Amino acid sequence: MRRRALLATATAVSTASLAGCPVPPWGEIPETVDGAEVTLRREHTGEFERDEPSLQDDAVLIRAVDAEPPRVTVRGRLLDGSRECYRVDLIEATLDAERLLLRLTTEDDPDWDEEACPDVAVAHPYEVDVAFTERPVPELVEVRHGDETVLDEAV
């Protein structure tokens, strides 16, 4: 409840970017980034299994560099509050020749109308698909959940 009030106040008072964030956390999800198309899905379209079950944030890199256009997909899960009132959002996407950086977090779901949110931690599945329409595929993909790096892998 307090988080929702603080977010509403921040939105009303300012629309300026936070330091290090090209888009405010309450802004739109990036759909393009420097010559690449970005698609966020709040579900998995394929299998997401690791060798060992984990109760931690996790992500895997799926490469399709020979496709037309070349693409990479990051499939992951972000552990946070109930999926009834929070949802995963892509808040930063940057691309240069060496690195693609994707930063995700969970935020208030605008469709949630209730007062209280269940106090449970659940996995929020997501996929971020990046098609390199005008730029070459970078050498490295880095994924952060908030400020924590969960994937740092060569393409």
pLDDT tens profile 44-61: 888 876 655 566 788 999
Helix, strand, coil % over all residues of the chain, rounded to 5: 10, 45, 50
Total-model pTM: 0.76
DSSP code of residue 51: S
Q: Give 79-137 pLDDT, tens digit per residue.
A: 888 888 888 999 999 999 899 999 999 888 888 887 778 778 888 999 999 999 999 99
Total domains in the chain come to 1
Structural domain boundaries enclosing 141: 2-154
- pLDDT band at residue 27 using 50, 70 and 90 as cut-offs: very low
* Residue 102 CB partners (closer than 8 Å, separation 6+): 74, 90, 92, 93, 128, 130, 141, 142, 143, 144
Angle at CA 130, nearest 5°, toward 152 and 125? 70
